[in-house]
Amino acid sequence: MSPTDQEAWQKVLQSDCDDYCLKPVGFTYLLGKIQRLVGHVFSANQSEVNEEASFSRDLGFQNKQASHVPSPISSNNSKPEPLSKSVSAKPLVIYIEDHQADSLAMAKIVQNKGYSYANIVNPLEALPKLLELKPKLIFLDLVMPLVNGYELCAQIRRMSVFKTIPIIIVTNNDGIADRVRAKVVGASGFLGKPIRPKRVGKVLAKYLQPVSNVTQDNTDQPDFSPLF
């Protein structure tokens, strides 16, 4: 399929389809979708098989196991507020990045400048999340599992709502060929790793309004939005 406006996307999201693919479909992107769907089917079947055994587990053992599960990341180590509340006051910057360390570095810089921030970890879920959150600027990691950053950038650009939104490619490959290819797929700019405050600050200053013009109350540190 190839929906290009928000109305068409709403019809897709409200349908009973398990997933979607945008044309043209790359091999790695399609493979990732298949693995994800097959994984869901396997998990559902496995859950039914082990349902009776799960209920018979000792409660103390369950609590012990649960203590090893990491909690969601937030700026104050407490339960994050709902995303719609935490990012509604100021322009939202989204970083599509699967590495936690890079995301945290970007979050600190962006929030210190007074903007809201959110991280999309799974690139296969990027398009519906972007439609939901409507960011003012997108940082996009080039190298991610199952999805090519160039391909994802092209798909984002084909959506009418994101025709003019700045998309910045973030990567270690800072060569001329990479910059040319990024331009071809519609990227607005190129940011080399490692992520540094001065570099990111220049991008924010170029594409977003100064924080003093965005809000009159910038004394409080913005909350770190939960990871997707």
Nearest to 149 by CA among 119, 181, 117, 175: 181
H helices of the chain, in order, are 6-14, 27-49, 51-55, 59-66, 83-86, 100-112, 126-133, 149-157, 176-184, 197-207, 211-214
Per-residue pLDDT of the chain (228 residues; tens, 9 = 90+): 555 566 666 666 666 666 666 666 665 666 666 666 555 444 444 554 454 444 345 444 444 444 443 334 333 443 434 444 444 578 999 999 999 999 999 999 999 999 999 999 999 999 999 999 999 999 999 988 888 899 999 999 999 999 999 999 999 887 888 888 989 999 999 999 999 999 999 999 999 987 665 444 443 433 444 444
Domains, in order of start, for the chain:
1-228 (3.40.50.2300)
Nearest to 141 by CA among 130, 131, 149, 133: 149
| Number of neighbours of residue 224 by Cβ within 10 angstroms | 23
